[in-house]
Amino acid sequence: MLKRMMFAAASILLLSAGCGAASAAAVPESAGQEQALEASSKEERKPVYARMALLTGLSWEQVAALDQYERTLGKARPKSRPKLGKWAGLYVTPEQWTGALNPDADDRNPDSILVFGGIGKDGDGDGKADPASDLDLLYSQSAAVAKYGTAPDDFVIGVWEYYHNIRAVQRVSQFAQLYKTYGRVDLSGSAFPVPVGTNYSYRSTWGTARGWGGHRTHEGTDIFADYGLPVRSTCYGIVENMGWNNYGGWRIGIRDAENRYHYYAHLSGFDKSLKTGQAVTPGQTLGWVGSSGYGKPGTSGKFPPHLHYGIYRDRGMVEWAFDPYPLLKQWERQELKAKKAKGK
């Protein structure tokens, strides 16, 4: 009874916080309603995250970041991390859910699961801890992290204790920062890395041999352009790396909310307003086209000015590159179409 009263109170608080009728409809009040929740729009998930935040003491941005990190791992490793719920991104092993020593691998009783050290909890008020329930999944993971405290440093500790992976801590923290900065879950949107309609050219150069630094292949696309042409962020993201790389020269790396790392190399310099850990938007100037690299800091002019653009996906323990050319063509077409529609 007390637990059901807590869930009812959380729903009332959620409404009084200004979610409105449309948002409240996206928050299921029973297991049956939850099954009907498609969450087709990313913003429909926000009030659900807010509800879990009220129950655990985390912020909605932190709850969203945990779910989004799991979602990106599921996309990168769909066979080993199948979706358990209807829309939540979380994956939990049976042993993690019910407890490693639990004799009942299908245990759905929150009390006995607690006895055996499982993380499974009842998040929708139906009396069961069901890993097929989106709310149970979200509440269980959020509570597992929140038990170490809800202060920023405690949250970092909680994420570490949950994953035992420093990369996971960094990613979840980055996602939470993005959600806090922009105040929304939907961070879609893109920009071509140099201004469309200017003097540039590119083709697919994925996998071609490189002529400096030993045997290696090209992990990206070279966009040849005039020296000093602005280089722009292709996405919403966090500045993860800035500085000199002997191969890429002056380079900058941006992590987006899809757990992709966008790599911009051979720059002539950076925008002075940027710093590591800063949030950026699609189209924001990061630096300028140059010909730096292939040597010690300051080396330049060993090749024509161009932007090397690469993109990598985090799989949890490692990152792998994939060909950015199709995305570049897509972003270029979208911008040209929008520019034409505006009559510019």
**Is the domain of 122 the same as that of 170?**
yes
Is residue 188 a part of any domain in this protein? no
**Is the domain of 124 the same as that of 29?**
yes
d(CA 156, CA 158): 5
**Is the domain of 246 the same as that of 121?**
no
Which stretches in the chain have pLDDT values below 50?
A: 1-40, 214
Is residue 190 a part of any domain in this protein? no
Q: What is the pLDDT of residue 45?
A: 93
Q: What is the pLDDT of residue 209?
A: 63
**Is the domain of 142 the same as that of 204?**
no
Is residue 94 a part of any domain in this protein? yes
**Is the domain of 177 the same as that of 283?**
no
Q: What is the pLDDT of residue 158?
A: 98
Is residue 156 a part of any domain in this protein? yes
Q: What is the pLDDT of residues 189-237, one digit of tens each?
A: 999 999 999 999 999 988 776 665 545 577 889 999 999 999 999 999 9
**Is the domain of 171 the same as that of 231?**
no
Residue after which a domain boundary falls, among 182, 212, 239: 182
Residue after which a domain boundary falls, among 131, 149, 182: 182
**Is the domain of 13 the same as that of 77?**
yes
Give residue 334's domain range.
200-341
**Is the domain of 21 the same as that of 136?**
yes
The secondary structure element, H or E, covering residue 33 is helix 31-35
d(CA 120, CA 128): 9
Q: Take residue 142 and report the two structure tokens written for it.
A: 């959020």
Crossing angle for the helix pair 46-56 and 134-146, to the nearest 10 degrees? 40
The secondary structure element, H or E, covering residue 243 is strand 237-245
Is residue 212 a part of any domain in this protein? yes
Is residue 194 a part of any domain in this protein? no
d(CA 46, CA 221): 36
Q: What CATH number corresponds to the domain at position 218?
A: 2.70.70.10
Is residue 187 a part of any domain in this protein? no
**Is the domain of 227 the same as that of 334?**
yes
Task: Say how many domains are in the chain.
Answer: 2
Rounded to 5°, angle at Cα 288 from 250 and 273 = 80
**Is the domain of 204 the same as that of 178?**
no
Residue with tokens 């949030």: 279
**Is the domain of 337 the same as that of 217?**
yes
Q: What is the pLDDT of residue 43?
A: 82
- Entry pTM: 0.84
Residue after which a domain boundary falls, among 128, 156, 182: 182
Q: What is the pLDDT of residues 20-63, one digit of tens each?
A: 322 333 333 343 343 334 344 788 899 999 999 999 999 999 99
Cα 285 to Cα 42, 233, 269, 288: the distances in Å are 27, 6, 11, 8
**Is the domain of 235 the same as that of 132?**
no
Is residue 193 a part of any domain in this protein? no
Q: What is the pLDDT of residue 216?
A: 57
